[in-house]
Amino acid sequence: MPFNRLYLTCLCLGALATSTPVAADSIKVVKGQISDYYIPEVINYEVTGIVTDENGQPLERATVMWLYSPAHCNTDAQGRYSIIGTDNDNKLCIYYPGKEMLIMERLSQQRQVNVKLQPKTSKSTALERKAAQATQWYDPTDNTTSTYCNPMNISYNYEPWNNNTRNGGSFRSSADPMGLTYKGEYYLFSTNQGGFHYSKNLSDWDFTPASFQRYPHDDDECAPAAWVCGDTLFYTGSTYEGLPIWYTTQPLSGRFRRAIERNTLPTWDPYIFLDDDGKLYEYYGSSNEYPVKGVQISRQDFTPISKIHDLVLLQPKQHGWERFGMNNDDEVTLKPFMEGAFMTKHNGLYYFQYGAPGTEFKVYADGVYVGDSPLGPFTYQRHNPMSYKPGGFVQGVGHGGTFTDLNGNYWHVGTCMLSLKYKFERRIGLYPVYFDNDGIMWCNTAFGDYPCWNADYDMKYPSERFTGWMLLSFGKPVTVSSTDSTLTASSITDENMRTYWSAASGNPGEWATIDLGKVMTINAFQLNYYDHHTLQHNRANDTYYQYRVWSSNDGKEWQLVVDKSDSDRDTPHDYVQLRAPLQSRFIKVENLHMPGNGYFCLSDLRIFGNANGIPPVEVKKFKVSRDKNDPRNAMITWLAQPDAYGYNIYYGISPDKLYHCITVNGANEYDLRGLDLGTSYSFAIEALNESGRSKLSKTIYVK
């Protein structure tokens, strides 16, 4: 075979005429007028064959080419072709008018490849795209909701093309959120979104692009801080080298100006707090060695004007929840991380908040220290962590921010663990926050991934936020249109965000059906999509989901319930509150469109309402065994109930302060490793089923 070179003109155009990267036999360097050209030398040879139609008749002037290459040839009257290729040219593409274009694999040793083309068939489907229909349960022209359901249904950005995504493929992520109220609306800033989300009710979120990024790999948009001063909104990101501080009075325009070009402090995970006396403070730090720091800064140029204070350092030997690991069970690999500083002032006290022990764990949480001054000294609050959610569908609520709504109620946004394709694959959760009569700050995560009433409702008591709509879909049988690889349909109802099912394609008409077992009252759905074979990195304007939800009582006759066939919204955790209760046994979701050419893929289809039966009875044989050798740990057990699908474990520092809640589904024990040394606790438990909640058990006091 001849030993030839690739044409220099191809290199000048910036592309090689091959379908895959060239594995060069050698490299030839050619000196150009302004630069050197590195030309791979490869072995070229002739590939031949015959192209025929479905009846074996030769096709003249059929085009034969290497996939994604300008190199091609045409067949003669006998259907013969000859094309020059290399071992890297492993995909032949053959086209003839009226025939299906064929792409076929070729092994490097194959020098003759004969091809038979088939008649072109219509790609149209029976699913005609029409304007979405309104039903008595859902109106696509008026779908504002009065409830919300975690994880937050925002347009999480896709991770850029980098080492994080190459092994697992495209995935969405955001974290390190902070919320604020500005000019009558709610704003959500979070890591690497290329802008921010905003809402009028904390349920329905829109996105505004606003690029704060100067260089492709800067962290200008990582762990951001935003604050309001008068009529001005300020913003900055995380850095060890200094970043601009931006400002605007019209954030929805997406246009921010630079107040300063470069911050002087190494402010990783910053938060800037404006006290009611007009003084400005900055808190920062993310480390498993150094404490979080605080300093007063100038309102003119944001430079330090006080001493820099070391505020707080983790104490995992005292505080079990600060230990590293998925369940605070890894004290060998790394020291735990302290990060995500935040400050809230309430009734004259300063509540300094921080995240620990690691964002990739289900036990990621926010703790709080309390002081009389914005720079301390601070005292560790006996009720800690402040926000904690290691169980249920959504797990983790760390490195967050606290803000008030228009009614003066407090809310906390925090980072939720997913960590499936990459350890920093994350979501965001929203939870109400309260201060009790003793000044204890706590975050209510009970029923934190069930439908709850949003900020339109002025509710002062924690028990009022939960709608009472129970989970109807857990463990229910699922049938699907198809399955890709080994991904099982049962993942759709396993209440685990880290498992998923995928159809064999993303084509319209792929579907999944859940059998609830009997007719039940349905109030809401949550479609938790996942990305399988998706090709998307960073944000795109054409990212959206379209689907229909159907209802049946016999699995044969179907009625349209929700029609999103013309939706243009990016809703990866789409939550739909029905306008009226639906009576149904079977629920089918029919795919119409997936973004990024991805397959139709769901981590869970969650259905909420009521089975109209009898709530479970009170839990029996509830027991808490605190480890005598390590009192940071306790094993919690109880008698499994046949009429319950799950349980809520409540505990706290006294019987009237059972502020922590851990949801356990399908089990009757829990290994709790988040207790503090020297603190006594009270525990209680309730059972959950599709018709309601049991009576709370008697409280157990554990020294």
pLDDT at 3: 38
42 falls in which pLDDT band (50, 70, 90)?
A: confident
Residue with token string 């049988």: 477
Mean pLDDT estimate for the chain: 93
Which pLDDT belongs to residue 578? 98
Judge whether residue 435 has pLDDT over 90: yes
Residue range(s) in the chain whose domain bears CATH number 2.60.40.10: 623-702
Q: What is the mean pLDDT of residues 448-476?
A: 96
| Per-residue pLDDT reduced to its tens digit, 173-231 | 999 999 999 999 999 999 999 999 999 999 999 999 997 877 766 656 899 999 999 99
- Mean pLDDT across 28-42: 84
Q: Which CATH superfamily is domain 3-116 in?
A: Carboxypeptidase-like, regulatory domain (2.60.40.1120)
Distances (CA, A) of 160 to 237, 417, 531: 18, 19, 14
Does residue 13 carry a pLDDT above 50?
A: no
Instruction: Read off the tokens for 597.
Output: 């050419």
* CA pair distance 42, 84, nearest whole angstrom: 12
Give, in words, the CATH class of 623-702.
mainly beta
Edge to edge, the sheet with strand 339-346 lists 339-346, 349-356, 365-371, 378-380
Q: Which CATH superfamily is domain 172-435 in?
A: Glycosyl hydrolase domain; family 43 (2.115.10.20)
H-run or E-run covering 8: helix 8-12
Percent of the chain with pLDDT over 90: 86
Give residue 130's pLDDT band: very low, low, confident or very high (50, 70, 90): confident
Lowest mean pLDDT among 30-34, 243-247, 431-435, 574-578: 30-34
At residue 507, the pLDDT reads 96
Which tens digit of pLDDT belongs to each residue from 401-424? 999 999 999 999 999 999 999 999
Where are the domain boundaries for CATH 2.115.10.20 in the chain?
A: 172-435
The whole-number pLDDT of residue 15 equals: 34
- Cβ(196)–Cβ(210) below 8 Å: yes
Two structure tokens written together for 347: 């009734």
Query: Residue 5: what pLDDT?
Result: 34
CATH 2.60.40.1120 intervals, the chain: 3-116
pLDDT for the residue numbered 642:
94
Amino acid at 57: Q
- The Cα 611–Cα 470 span in angstroms is 8
Average pLDDT over residues 21-47: 79
Whether residue 128 has pLDDT greater than 60: no
Reported as a pLDDT band with limits 50, 70 and 90, residue 40 is: confident
Confidence at 124, pLDDT banded by 50, 70, 90: low
Q: Domain 471-610, CATH 3.30.530.20 — does that match?
A: no
Q: Which residues contact 181 (CB under 8 A, 6 or more apart)?
A: 187, 228, 403, 404, 405, 406
SS3 string, 587-636, reads EEEEEEECHHHCCCEEEEEEEEEECCCCCCCCCCCCEEEECCCCCCCEEE
Can you tell me whether residue 371 is helix, strand or coil? strand
Residue positions counted in the chain: 703
Which residues does residue 634 pair with via DSSP β-bridges, in sequence order? 626, 672
Among 29-33, 298-302, 350-354, 442-446, the minimum mean pLDDT is found in 29-33
Question: For residues 301 and 286, what is the distance between their CA atoms, to the nearest angstrom?
Answer: 24
Residue 18, by phi and psi: left (phi above 0), alpha (psi -120 to 50) or beta?
Answer: beta
Q: Quick check: 104 pLDDT over 60?
A: yes
CB neighbour class for 209 (10 Å; exposed up to 12, middle 13-18, buried from 19) = exposed
**pLDDT attached to residue 31:** 81
Structure tokens at 586: 């079977």
| Rounded alpha-carbon distances, angstroms, from residue 665 to 41, 268, 494, 495 | 61, 37, 9, 8
Please say whether the beta carbons of 691 and 470 come within 8 A: yes
Least confident of 10-24, 430-444, 487-501, 629-643: 10-24
